[in-house]
Chain A
Amino acid sequence: MKQRLPFTFVFAAFALFLLLGPLKPYLVETASLTPFYADEFTFGKLLGTHGGLLFQVAAGLQSCFARPWLGASLFVVVLAALAYVQRWAFRVGDRWFGLCWVSSFALLASYTQLGYLIYPLKQPAVAFAPALGALVAFALIGLWFRLKHWWCRVMFLLTVPLAGFWLFSFWGAFIAPFVGFVEVGRLHFNQTESPSSGQKHIGRQPFFANRASHLLWGLALFIVGLLLPSLLLFVLHRPLDVEVGHIPFDSLASSMRGPAAIALAVPLFYGIYHLQGKRQWMTAVAAVVFAASGIVVYTHSFLDSNFLNTLQMKHSAEAGDWNQVLKLARENEPEPTRAQVCLTRLALFKTGRMGDELFAYPDGSAAYNAPQQNQWLRLMIGPLLYYHYGKTGFAYRWAMEDLVEYGERPAYLRYLHGVARLNGEEALARRYERTLARTLFYKDVCAHEEAEATAIRPLMNFTDQLDGDNGMVEFYLLNSFALSEGGSRPMVELSLMNGLITKNLSGFWPRFLALLPTWQGHIPTHYQEAALMVAQLQGAPVGDLPIDPTIRQRFQQLVEASARMGDNAANAAALRPQFGKTYWYYYFFVDGLKTN
């Protein structure tokens, strides 16, 4: 016991640090992508499919990630229980106990390494389902070893794998091939004990008499332990299937590392089983493996700064905390992805600071640290952006498309509900409310909706048309506003700003002049900058424009500095410190951003 506790504490501390530290927003996002509905209706449906019980329980536990401390604690408890159950199942001595944590580390990594893949993975509980499944598998193995009578074993074999498969998918049936190999191996290596006398030895002493038999036996178990579950995963375990585009197989394989590692643990324990003893080096080896596992988990966890920052921004946006979104945008150090840029711009619009600060915030088009670049913005924040910009048709469409593809995730239901309310479809909104009411943590997810709707409705003052966005959310939004005419005041301002962003200045003056009376003395900085620049480009007089003298002066400085310097690249580098946060700089020097 004394030797076990340190491992337990270290594992728990490490896992909690990882999950509640950098990965906290990832946990929250995972919960919103976990379809768990606590009612007889769903439970009955899930029990009608193989593995239904496992996925239902696992999804229930995983939805607790919505309260990160609760979900993380539950996850750590399950992973720790797994280590103890392995120890119990294989009667691993305390000196080797450190090895029992390898599977737990592997399962932890199988979740923490997913990153962007959390969106297209269809398995309803990517974190908990393999962990609980492995727990069941090892518990059944332990139970098998402890059955005393041959008839108990026969009954066990006749009933448990079948029922196990139904309730826990292949994890519940794993015992069948495992026992098959144990018995075949026993016969092969002339283990002549009768079942009754054999029981005395099972689990208490090595099965085999010599080193060669250990090697062969380890190999056999390795094959059955690794290949069989892998095969079953592919053939039977459809929810693991990745359906978005052609994500490379490596990504799918990486999500299987955890289960595969558990399977590896089976031969590992058999391989080391006979090495019982009191030698200190055993403990040292176990400790080293334990520590190495922790390091591997940390280094393989997806701690991509942009990804985690995007999630934090998204969650702040969904909570209506737009200032926090901007704070997160400012604090992010690497070049942002378009998703971060879009969230920043939305927050600037929501806080009324778009005209003054938009070009002062980090811009960029850093690649998403994942394959299939063009889908992540849509999958992460597509419905959110469309919803807040009043493009209700596409907000509903993408939330529904994703619901169809990936299941009834609360993340989609909130936007389906929001759009239904905006559309005045009260009965439809109530249907989604009823569904959300059955979740553990998303009952009040639409609490901010009325305030949101007040801000969104003025953006819906446009003529309906049939259209398509081909999943290019940012591109569509930019152009739909940049090319629109009229509408409410916020729509005209979005038209003005998106015209500036897309460098389409053809509609600048009508929009600028329409908005001029509404600024009540203070024309936002970027619009002043743009007015000066556009007037200059078009040779129009600017003397009558209410432009701040400081801005006029800076513009003159820019013109003079540009004239003094060399090529565009040199100018861009030299002028960035002084003018990098102006629209002028954006217009003349920022090119090639991939909008989406």
Chain B
Amino acid sequence: MKHDSYTLSILVLSLAIVLTGCRPTLPTTYEEATQEPCVSPDNFGATLPPNIAPLNFRILQGEASEAVTHLHSQKGGEMIVGGWDVCFDEKDWHRLLSQTRGDSLYCDIYLKADGTWRHLPTQRFFIAEDDIDPYITYRLIRPSYVTYEELTLHQRSLESFDEHVIYENMRFSDSEQGQCINCHMPRNWNRDGQSQFHVRQKLGGTVLIHGTEASKVDLKTDSTLSAGVYPAWHPTLNLVAYSVNETGQVFHTLDPQKVEVIDYASDLILYDPEQNSVQSIERTASEFESFPAWSPDGRTLFYIAAHYTRRADDLDADLDSHYDQLHYNIYARDFDTETRRFGPRRLVFDAEALGKSASVPRVSPDGSHLLFTLADYGQFHIWHRSADLWVLPLGEKRPEKNGFTADSKTDDRSGKSHLPPTVNKITTAGNRNHAQTNAHILPETNSPAAESYHAWSSSGRWILFSSRRDDGNYTRLYISYFDRDGRAHRPFRLPQRTADDDDLLLRSYNAAEFMVQPVRVTHRQLSTIIKKEARKARYKGSALLYPEPDSTSAPLPASPAERRGEAVAY
């Protein structure tokens, strides 16, 4: 018995020694260094949500022999991690952030070289008061051109590293026909479990998810250019606005921007899932409309449009050689939620006047700001290095009155009239300078590389956006705090379990959106639905209060298959 106790004591002692030995300790003596820490990803200075997953990183200063990282706040909590790969314990991290809510979190890195410890300048994170939506959804895709394989729609917890595949395309792809999937878009941050995504080519259709149910519809009609492409769920009614696009890709021979994704025609449609019907909103051959987005009250539809004057018979060749002259402005149409009719078009942001081109307008949940991407030309800005995030304050709330007056029926393409009070002061042809000065770039979020597809969190306090700032080619997700003064803070990259998860992944994050809850429908259920025939939507005419003459040209002639590749490289 005595012998057993003795053995047990030794074991416990050994274990304690081992455990203590494993726990890194801060050096007691060290020199102060002036060299800033070199880490990947470098998120220092960012504002973090208190419920975000650990921001693990790798220390790149390889000349040192040992490294210790000390994370601490003035409120008392701390974490100490040894080694080059700084991976924080999730539970401790969350405890520390919770304690530090609304305050600063400090990070000290100590490096040992030539037997001497050096303390690098203290870095700081700011912990916001506002939580972030706990989930995001996105697609992983190679930054590819025409070919595509292994596309996956994911949902990821922002509070941890849990990632699940909602749907992957290889189950039904074969050597004869592949399957492309894109645009997983939740409605109202997936509050009611409603979302949609597209399946192209094999077993194509648009999949509508509602809770644990799903259905597949075919939105292509004889009267519309294509099936639905970029979606915008109506916030209160069961309606989805889509763009319909004739999209192609052409390749730069020298420019490192590599690909230009061009719409050779595009319109807008409104889909009613209950009636399975499609109505056209914009249907003009000389205007290329795309990227619809509803205001939070559902009474305004924002979108982008470029005016196109045909210079030659060969539309493809014409656009290919003048691609850099397509400038998209942001427009809006009022929407009567009772009659479900749209009013006339009005100009919201005149990008063309700045020699620029706007894309992906998104209104903040409180309706106060319009966030968009601005680049030199075109609309597929992830391939444009000039693309930056801009914001346009929309001013005070719009009047409560629903609908619009009869005198607003004239659709002035120059945007000289019919603007609602809030945007009237911002953008009119005669008042452009004032309009353009109200919109402003978000300097903290932007980089020399492309910033593009972006989404608001349900609280409106966080912006999720795509950026190619890391290497110019592989898109990564960044999250920025958007404060109550309309100012974006320094963003941080989507947290990963290890630095390798981003460094070695030769895929891009694409079309990311926030969600307040995960998608519940299973992969198997989706596969079953996708195997079924899609319900074909029927065309129900124009959704405009005063329909315009149909000027959409006849279907475009077939173009080289190469250029007609699905625009999947977002």
Query: Do A and B share a complex?
Result: yes
Contact A401 B145 (CB under 8 A): yes
Give the interface size bracket for B toward A.
35 or more
Q: Mark B399-411, 1 if CB is under 8 A from A, else 0.
A: 0000000000000
Contact A464 B252 (CB under 8 A): yes
Contact B142 A400 (CB under 8 A): yes
Bound together, the chains give a CA A360 to CA B503 distance in angstroms of 49
Indicate if B30 sits at the interface (CB-CB under 8 A): no
Q: Which residue of A lies closest to B150 (CB)?
A: A404
* A-contacting residues, B483-536, CB 8 Å: 498, 500-501, 503-504, 506
List the one stretch of B73-81, B208-216, B280-288, B467-475 in contact with chain A: B467-475
**What chain B residues lie within 8 Å of A401 (beta carbons)?**
144-147
Contact A397 B254 (CB under 8 A): no
**What chain A residues lie within 8 Å of B254 (beta carbons)?**
391-393, 460, 462-464
Contact A428 B471 (CB under 8 A): yes
Distance in angstroms from A184 CB to nearest chain B CB is 31
**What chain A residues lie within 8 Å of B148 (beta carbons)?**
404
Bound together, the chains give a CA A470 to CA B504 distance in angstroms of 31
Bound together, the chains give a CA A423 to CA B560 distance in angstroms of 28
**What chain A residues lie within 8 Å of B503 (beta carbons)?**
431, 434
Indicate if A427 sits at the interface (CB-CB under 8 A): yes
Bound together, the chains give a CA A10 to CA B31 distance in angstroms of 69
**What chain A residues lie within 8 Å of B253 (beta carbons)?**
391, 393-394, 462, 464-467, 480
**What chain A residues lie within 8 Å of B258 (beta carbons)?**
393, 396-397
Give 12 pairs: A residue, B residue, CB < 8 Å, sorted on A. Answer: A41-B500, A396-B258, A400-B144, A403-B142, A403-B506, A404-B144, A424-B256, A425-B471, A430-B471, A434-B504, A466-B253, A468-B562
Instruction: Using known A-B contacts A243-B175, A466-B321, A466-B323, determine if residue A428 contacts B145 with beta carbons closer than 8 Å.
Output: no
Most buried by B among A463, A465, A470: A465
Contact A404 B142 (CB under 8 A): yes
Contact A405 B147 (CB under 8 A): yes
Instruction: Using known A-B contacts A425-B471, A427-B472, determine if residue A397 contacts B145 with beta carbons closer than 8 Å.
Output: yes
Distance in angstroms from A53 CB to nearest chain B CB is 19
Contact B500 A393 (CB under 8 A): no
Bound together, the chains give a CA A428 to CA B470 distance in angstroms of 8
* B-contacting residues, A446-487, CB 8 Å: 460, 462-468, 470-471, 480
Indicate if A246 sits at the interface (CB-CB under 8 A): yes
Q: Mark B256-268, 1 if CB is under 8 A from A, else 0.
A: 1011100000000
Indicate if A554 sits at the interface (CB-CB under 8 A): no
Q: Which residue of B lies closest to A465 (CB)?
A: B253
Bound together, the chains give a CA A393 to CA B176 distance in angstroms of 28
Distance in angstroms from B259 CB to nearest chain A CB is 8
Contact A466 B175 (CB under 8 A): no
Q: Which residue of B lies closest to A430 (CB)?
A: B471
Distance in angstroms from B406 CB to nearest chain A CB is 46
Bound together, the chains give a CA A430 to CA B471 distance in angstroms of 9
Bound together, the chains give a CA A246 to CA B170 distance in angstroms of 18
Q: Mark B111-152, 1 if CB is under 8 A from A, else 0.
A: 000000000000000000000000000000011111111000
Bound together, the chains give a CA A393 to CA B145 distance in angstroms of 12
Contact B256 A246 (CB under 8 A): no
Contact A425 B174 (CB under 8 A): no
Indicate if B220 sits at the interface (CB-CB under 8 A): no
Bound together, the chains give a CA A480 to CA B504 distance in angstroms of 36
Residue in B174, B251, B471 whose CB lies within 8 Å of A397: B251
Distance in angstroms from A424 CB to nearest chain B CB is 8
Indicate if A331 sits at the interface (CB-CB under 8 A): no
**What chain B residues lie within 8 Å of A41 (beta carbons)?**
498, 500-501, 504
Indicate if B250 sits at the interface (CB-CB under 8 A): yes
Contact A466 B252 (CB under 8 A): yes
Known: A241-B174, A408-B506. 15 other contacts (CB 8 A): A39-B500, A241-B175, A242-B175, A393-B251, A401-B144, A403-B142, A404-B149, A428-B473, A431-B471, A435-B504, A462-B253, A464-B254, A465-B253, A468-B560, A470-B560
Most buried by B among A243, A246, A480: A243
Indicate if A238 sits at the interface (CB-CB under 8 A): yes
Q: Mark A415-451, 1 if CB is under 8 A from B, else 0.
A: 0000010011101101100110010000000000000
**What chain B residues lie within 8 Å of A246 (beta carbons)?**
175-176
* B-contacting residues, A467-513, CB 8 Å: 467-468, 470-471, 480
Bound together, the chains give a CA A397 to CA B142 distance in angstroms of 12
**What chain A residues lie within 8 Å of B472 (beta carbons)?**
425, 427-428
Query: 5 nearest interchain CB pairs?
Result: A427-B471, A464-B254, A466-B250, A428-B471, A423-B256
Bound together, the chains give a CA A401 to CA B148 distance in angstroms of 8
Instruction: Using known A-B contacts A241-B174, A397-B258, A403-B506, determine if residue A468 contacts B250 with beta carbons closer than 8 Å.
Output: yes
Instruction: Give me the interface of A with B, judged by CB distance under 8 Å.
Output: 37, 39-42, 238, 241-243, 246-247, 391-394, 396-397, 400-405, 408, 420, 423-425, 427-428, 430-431, 434-435, 438, 460, 462-468, 470-471, 480
Residue in A37, A427, A467 whose CB lies within 8 Å of B251: A467
Instruction: Using known A-B contacts A394-B253, A466-B251, A466-B321, determine if residue A404 contacts B147 with beta carbons closer than 8 Å.
Output: yes
Indicate if B563 sits at the interface (CB-CB under 8 A): yes
Q: Which residue of B lies closest to A407 (CB)?
A: B149
Indicate if B272 sits at the interface (CB-CB under 8 A): no
Distance in angstroms from B351 CB to nearest chain A CB is 21
Bound together, the chains give a CA A282 to CA B470 distance in angstroms of 68
Indicate if B222 sits at the interface (CB-CB under 8 A): no
Q: Which residue of B lies closest to A468 (CB)?
A: B562
Indicate if B396 sits at the interface (CB-CB under 8 A): no
Q: Which residue of B lies closest to A403 (CB)?
A: B142
Distance in angstroms from A167 CB to nearest chain B CB is 20
Q: Which residue of A lies closest to B503 (CB)?
A: A434
Distance in angstroms from A310 CB to nearest chain B CB is 24
Most buried by A among B254, B259, B321: B254
**What chain A residues lie within 8 Å of B560 (beta carbons)?**
468, 470
Distance in angstroms from A402 CB to nearest chain B CB is 8
**What chain A residues lie within 8 Å of B321 (beta carbons)?**
465-466
Bound together, the chains give a CA A431 to CA B260 distance in angstroms of 23
**What chain A residues lie within 8 Å of B506 (beta carbons)?**
403, 408, 431, 435
Bound together, the chains give a CA A463 to CA B256 distance in angstroms of 13
Bound together, the chains give a CA A323 to CA B105 distance in angstroms of 62
**What chain B residues lie within 8 Å of A428 (beta carbons)?**
471-474
Distance in angstroms from A93 CB to nearest chain B CB is 44
**What chain B residues lie within 8 Å of A392 (beta carbons)?**
254
Indicate if B314 sits at the interface (CB-CB under 8 A): no
Distance in angstroms from B161 CB to nearest chain A CB is 13
**What chain B residues lie within 8 Å of A42 (beta carbons)?**
504
Indicate if B320 sits at the interface (CB-CB under 8 A): yes
Distance in angstroms from B382 CB to nearest chain A CB is 15
Bound together, the chains give a CA A480 to CA B149 distance in angstroms of 31
Indicate if B255 sits at the interface (CB-CB under 8 A): yes
Bound together, the chains give a CA A394 to CA B254 distance in angstroms of 8
Distance in angstroms from A207 CB to nearest chain B CB is 41
Distance in angstroms from B465 CB to nearest chain A CB is 19
Bound together, the chains give a CA A37 to CA B250 distance in angstroms of 32
* A-contacting residues, B230-283, CB 8 Å: 250-256, 258-260
Distance in angstroms from A10 CB to nearest chain B CB is 39
Bound together, the chains give a CA A40 to CA B87 distance in angstroms of 16
**What chain A residues lie within 8 Å of B259 (beta carbons)?**
397
**What chain A residues lie within 8 Å of B504 (beta carbons)?**
37, 39, 41-42, 434-435, 438
Bound together, the chains give a CA A246 to CA B177 distance in angstroms of 10
Bound together, the chains give a CA A403 to CA B143 distance in angstroms of 10
Distance in angstroms from B496 CB to nearest chain A CB is 11
Q: Which residue of A lies closest to B260 (CB)?
A: A466
**What chain B residues lie within 8 Å of A468 (beta carbons)?**
250-251, 560, 562-563
